[in-house]
Every structure is written in structure tokens, then in C-alpha cells.
Amino acid sequence: MSAVVLATACAVVYGTADFFGGLATRRSRVFAVVVLSQLAGLAFVTMLLPVLPGGYAPAALGWGMAAGLGGAAGLVLFYWALANGVMSVVAPVTATVSAAFPALFGLASGERPQPATLAGVALALVAVALVSREQSGTASRTTMKPMLAALASGAGFGGFFILLDQAPADTGMWPLVGARVASITMVVALALATRRPLRPGRGALPVIAAAGVLDMLANVLYLLAVQRGMLVVVAVLASLYPASTLVLARYVLGERLRPVQVAGVVGALVAVGLIAIP
């Protein structure tokens, strides 16, 4: 299976996981959703270890743990920025940086996609910004600190993609085990330090578990994709995940898409087509 197909599937699954995560946070505290969903993801990837090819290596766990810390730090900063800034500004800034950071790193590392692929990557970055935009009437809340936190959050998420790519290709899913162990440890420590409850709301556990398993499945697809293709392509395609979240929200919850978001979804489809050109 090609890297483009795997990365596109990764974006769809990431978006579906976020949809379930959003449903879960309506019934439970954020820290409870994050910790329990990541525990479910860790159990899922552990079951996959004997099935998928690859062997254990200390370097795999090391790179995975570094990626997990970057992703967890990005998540904490993202939630802080959402709470203290304007969501319609924070979300697209974070999503765009998380896509652009790996793309720039890949180009700096010597990756040279075809012109059509580069055009698709550029269009995908625009699409990420468009589909991430949300309506807000409180633009005055945008300050420098939330903007800096949004930029740092995007760098954390982008760092997750980059660091996973550094793990040896023959170590299978072991980098994801390291990533989950590190991120769970960090988030649990933060929850205990801030005295946040980790008990899920009534009836929320199945939704939380589904979000965690889907998120890990997306990570597996990403790792398989980046082992087969260029980081500059795979990471940007994976970052198109907000499009599938929007589509699910539209047809499952009946939420309306704004015209700018529809344009972003269309742009994402065109971008995938351009990147897929051989």
C-alpha cells in the first residue's frame, strides 16, 4: 500500500478519533478523556506488536518517548491556548504549524517532491487552515500569550511527526509504545499536580476507549506511511484530519459547515489528488 493512501487513511482515522474525543469531553473532564483514551491506545498497540513486522530496539523506544513528550506538551499548550484565546484563531494556527513544521524539516533534510506534489502540499497547508476555522465573536480575547502557545502547540504536534520518523524503520510499532508511555506519564503527573479528576463521566468510557483505539490506529497508519514515503508529504496529508471531523459533525450531529470550511474540505480533496500524481 502506498504512502499517500496510508497517510490519507491516517487523516480520516485521526479525524474520526477527534470526533469521538469531542463527544467524550461532553461527558467527562478533559484530563480523564486524555489519560483513559491513551491507555486504551496503549493496550491496542501492544496487541499489534506480535502481528506487525518489526523488532524491539532501545532507539525505537527512545525516539518514541521523545515524540510522546512533544505530542503531550503540544496537547497541554493547545488546551491552554483554547481556554485563554480565540478558538477561531488558535485552532488554524496550531493546525497549520503542525503541518508546516514537518514539511519544512523534510525539505531541509533533502526531500525533493515532484512539482505537482509540492503544489498539493502547499494547497493542503491552506486547506488545514480553512477547515480548522471556527466562528467566534470574541476576537478581542486574542493576545500574544495564546498566540505563542498556539505556535508552540503546533510545533509540539509537528515534532511528534518528525521524531517518529527518526525511529529505525525495522522496529515496527515499538516507537508508538514509547510515545504512549511517555505521554501518559506526563499527563497523569500534570493531572495529579493540578488535582484534576481522572474518573470518566457516566456512560462515557466506551466512547473514550473508541477515541483512544482510533487515535492509535491513526498513529499506526502514519508510522507505516512515513516508513514508505517522504515526511514532507505524509505529515501534511495526515494533518488534514480536521476535514473528516467536520464531515462527521455535519452528518452525525447535524452541525452546519461554514463556507470557509467547505472550501477547506474541497481544497483538501484536490490536494490529495495532486499529491497522488505519480
DSSP state of 140: G
Determine phi and psi for 50, rounding to 5 degrees.
-75, -15
pLDDT (tens digit per residue) in 159-195: 999 999 999 988 989 999 999 999 999 989 988 998 8
3-class DSSP state of 85: coil
In the predicted model, residues of the chain with pLDDT beneath 70 are 1, 82-83, 86-89, 134-143, 278
CA 180, 89, 233, 110 torsion: positive or negative? Answer: negative
Contact indicator for 182, 41 with CB cutoff of 8 Å: no
**What local confidence, expressed as pLDDT, does residue 145 receive?**
82
**What local confidence, expressed as pLDDT, does residue 139 receive?**
45
Query: End-to-end CA distance of the chain, in Å?
Result: 14
Helices then strands, each counted (H, E), the chain: 11, 0
The angle, 0 to 180 degrees and rounded to 10, between the axes of the packed helices 205-226 and 174-193 is 140
Which cell numbers in the block locate residue 120?
498539493
Contact indicator for 38, 206 with CB cutoff of 8 Å: no
Which cell numbers in the block locate residue 4?
499517500
Report how far apart, in Å, the C-alpha atoms of 224 and of each of 23, 122, 131, 183, 206 are.
Answer: 28, 23, 25, 21, 27
Determine phi and psi for 261, rounding to 5 degrees.
-75, -40
The share of the chain scoring above pLDDT 90, in percent, equals 33
**What local confidence, expressed as pLDDT, does residue 140 receive?**
45
The torsion angle over the Cα atoms of residues 266, 270, 273 and 274, rounded to 10 degrees, is -160
